[in-house]
């Protein structure tokens, strides 16, 4: 019996190794492992053996059955692998049909995320604003030279209204129902009545924010802006604070960023100064605090603002701001 089993095993292995296709494997399985197959006929012979030999013979038969099944699966894998077509790994990839995010809104999103992480609530105001919220309430009275800083669109039949020239309007809008201490940020579209060219647009995006508390200091503003810039760039950057005039803050200042293109050596983009003006900021003017409904003796605050489009230009390296509103896919498809 044992020698017969060994013969059967040799025969089955030899037959399996010559098979090259699936149909042959199926026939082999019927011949050796089928209900009427060779292994099955051995099972019947077990009963004829003396009782003492049966367990050993039974175990040997089971081992053979398992081995043949395993060999069959292995051979099946080999046969189907051989049937696989050849793959040319050097073929070019197919174009991905995907959408793209506008670089300016992508940057707005990134900026917003940083301010939110610093505890600033997001306000969304209207683009068509009242003169008071855009100017007078922000300490920019009528017939004052500081109005010249922002050329303005006025609207027919809507006296006392403008297209907002800055998102600083949030200082009066977001605070109308809020109780201090608070921090707010607003990001959105603003308008300037300005002839358009490669570096000027009549509409673009800004981010403005402010914080009011009892003990807010100018050094908090310096620290906050530095934290913001370093989070945005994800590294230490060299900044410079420069006193500046904005009617709605006092003291007022600008944050200049060491030119990220030339590293401060001076280039065409930074107009040879080595610095890029990035943010305007300051301590909220007492007149504005009063217009927020706050007592300037008890509350102090700081405010800041930045244009986003020019910054997107700088980061991505495009030189014509008008591309932003072109809807040109050759532009849009280059970004995220």
Partner 1 sequence: MRAPLSWIAEFVKPGLKPAALADLLTRTGTEVALLDSRVARFRGVVVGRVNTVIKHPGADRLKVCKVTVAAKGAPLTIVCGAPNVAPAQTVAVALPGARIADGTVIERASIRGVESSGMICSMQELGLGSDHAGILVLGGDLQPGAPLDEALALNETIFHFELTPNRSDCFSIQGLGREIAALTGRAFWPAVADVREQGKPAQQSVSVRIADRKLATRYVARVVRGVRIGESPQWLKNRLEACGVRPVSNVVDVTNYVMLELGQPIHAFDLAKLQGRRLVVRPARRGETITLLDGSTHALPVGVPVIADAKRPAAVAAIMGGEASGISAKTKDVVIESATFHPIAIRKASQALGLRTEASHRHEKGPDPATVRLAADRAAQLLAEVAGGAVAPGVVEVGRPPVGPKLIRVSLATLAATLGIKVPAAKAKGILERLGFRVTGTPERWQVAPPTWRVDVRLPEDVTEEVGRVLDYNTFPKTLPSSNLPPVVLPPAVRLEDTVRGFFIRSGYCEALTYPYYGDQHRQLFGLTERHVEPVNPLSPDQAYLRQSLIPRLTEAVGRNRPAREIVKLFEIGSTFVPTGTKVAEQRVVGAVVLAPDAVRVLRGVAEAFFQSGGVAAHAGVTGGMLTWSVSGATAARLSVVPPAATHAFKLRSTRVVAVLEMFLTPLAARWRTFAPFVPFSHFPTVTRDLAFWLPADQPFGPVIEAVKRVDPLLKDVALFDIFTQGTRTSYALRFTLQSETGTLTASDVEGVVNRARTVLQQTFHAAARS
Please list every residue from 60 through 79 that binds partner 1, using CB under 8 A.
none
Instruction: Identify which range of 16-24, 56-64, 69-77, 91-99 contacts partner 1 by CB under 8 A.
Output: 91-99
The helix (H) or strand (E) run that includes residue 127 is none
CA 250/CA 284 separation, integer angstroms = 6
Cα gap 201→94, rounded to integer Å: 38
Q: Is the bond preceding residue 93 a cis peptide, omega within 30 degrees?
A: no
- Of the candidate spans 36-44, 56-64, 269-277, 313-321, the one that interacts with partner 1 by CB under 8 A turns out to be 269-277
Question: Is residue 166 within the footprint of partner 1 (CB under 8 A)?
Answer: no
Single residue of 44, 98, 177, 236 touching partner 1 by CB under 8 A: 98
Report, in Å, the least distance between residue 80 CB and partner 1.
Answer: 25
Query: Which of 61, 253, 279, 308 touches partner 1 by CB under 8 A?
Result: 253
Interaction of residue 231 with partner 1, rule CB under 8 A: no
Question: Residue 177: which H helix or E strand, with range?
Answer: none
Does position 193 interact with partner 1 (CB under 8 A)? The reply is yes
- Minimum CB separation of residue 258 from partner 1 in Å reads 12
Q: How many residues bind partner 1 (CB under 8 A)?
A: 81
Strand locations in 203-332 (E) = 203-213, 239-243, 249-258, 275-284, 300-307
213 binds partner 1 (CB under 8 A): yes
The yes or no reply on residue 198 touching partner 1 (CB under 8 A) is no
CA dist 143 → 118, 148, 160, 247, 291 (Å): 38, 9, 14, 13, 19
Position among 286, 315, 316, 318 found at the interface with partner 1 (CB under 8 A): 286
Neighbours of 3 (CB within 10 A): 7
Choose which of 166, 173, 183, 310 interacts with partner 1 (CB under 8 A).
183
Give the whole-angstrom CA distance, residue 272 versus residue 32: 88
CB of 260 to partner 1, least distance (A): 19
In the complex, least distance from residue 317 CB atom to partner 1, rounded to whole angstroms: 19
Q: Is 108 in the site for partner 1 (CB under 8 A)?
A: no
Work out whether 273 is an interface residue with partner 1 (CB under 8 A): yes
Q: Is there binding between residue 215 and partner 1 (CB under 8 A)?
A: yes
Q: Which of 201, 214, 177 has its CA nearest to residue 307?
A: 201
* CA distance linking residue 229 with residue 239, whole number of Å: 9
Of 65, 69, 76, 325, the one binding partner 1 by CB under 8 A: 325
C-alpha closest to that of 185 among 208, 158, 162, 202: 208
Structure tokens at 66: 């398992």
**Would you give the binding string for partner 1 spanning residues 112-131, x where CB under 8 A is met?**
----x--xxxxxx-xxx---
Rounded least distance, CB 307 to partner 1, Å: 15
Nearest Cα neighbor of 137 from 247, 37, 29 is 247
Contact with partner 1 (CB under 8 A): which of 250, 264, 267, 318?
250
Q: For partner 1, which is the closer residue by CB, 78 or 131? A: 131
Interatomic CA distance for residues 113 and 221, integer angstroms: 18
């Amino acid at each position: 019996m044992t020698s017969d089993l060994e013969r059967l095993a040799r025969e089955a292995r030899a037959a399996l190794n010559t098979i090259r296709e699936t149909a042959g494997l199926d026939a082999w399985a019927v011949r050796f492992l089928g209900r009427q197959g060779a292994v099955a006929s051995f099972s019947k012979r077990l009963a004829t053996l003396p009782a003492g030999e049966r367990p050993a013979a039974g175990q040997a038969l089971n081992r053979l059955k398992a081995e043949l099944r395993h060999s069959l699966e292995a051979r099946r894998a080999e046969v189907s692998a051989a049937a696989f077509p050849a793959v040319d790994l050097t073929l070019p990839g197919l174009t991905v049909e995907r959408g793209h995010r506008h670089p300016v809104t992508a940057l707005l999103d990134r900026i917003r995320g940083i301010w939110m992480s610093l505890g600033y609530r997001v306000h969304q105001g209207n683009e068509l604003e009242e003169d008071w919220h855009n100017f007078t309430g922000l300490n920019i009275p009528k017939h004052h030279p500081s109005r010249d800083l922002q050329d303005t669109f006025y609207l027919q039949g809507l006296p006392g209204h403008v297209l907002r020239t800055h998102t600083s309007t949030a200082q009066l809008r977001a605070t109308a129902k809020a109780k201090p201490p608070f921090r707010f940020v607003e990001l959105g579209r603003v308008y300037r009545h300005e002839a358009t060219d490669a570096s000027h647009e009549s509409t673009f995006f800004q981010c403005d924010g402010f914080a009011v508390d009892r003990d807010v200091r100018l050094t908090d503003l310096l620290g906050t802006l530095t934290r913001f810039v370093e989070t945005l760039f994800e590294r230490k950057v060299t900044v410079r604070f420069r006193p500046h005039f904005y009617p709605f803050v006092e003291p007022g200042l600008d944050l200049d960023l060491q030119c990220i293109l030339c590293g401060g050596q001076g280039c065409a983009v930074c107009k040879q100064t080595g610095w890029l003006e990035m943010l305007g900021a300051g301590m909220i003017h007492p007149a504005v605090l009063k217009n927020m409904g706050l007592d300037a003796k008890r509350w102090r605050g700081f405010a800041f603002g930045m244009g986003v489009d020019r910054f997107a230009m700088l980061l991505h390296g495009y030189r014509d701001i008008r591309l932003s509103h072109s809807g040109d896919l050759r532009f849009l498809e280059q970004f995220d």
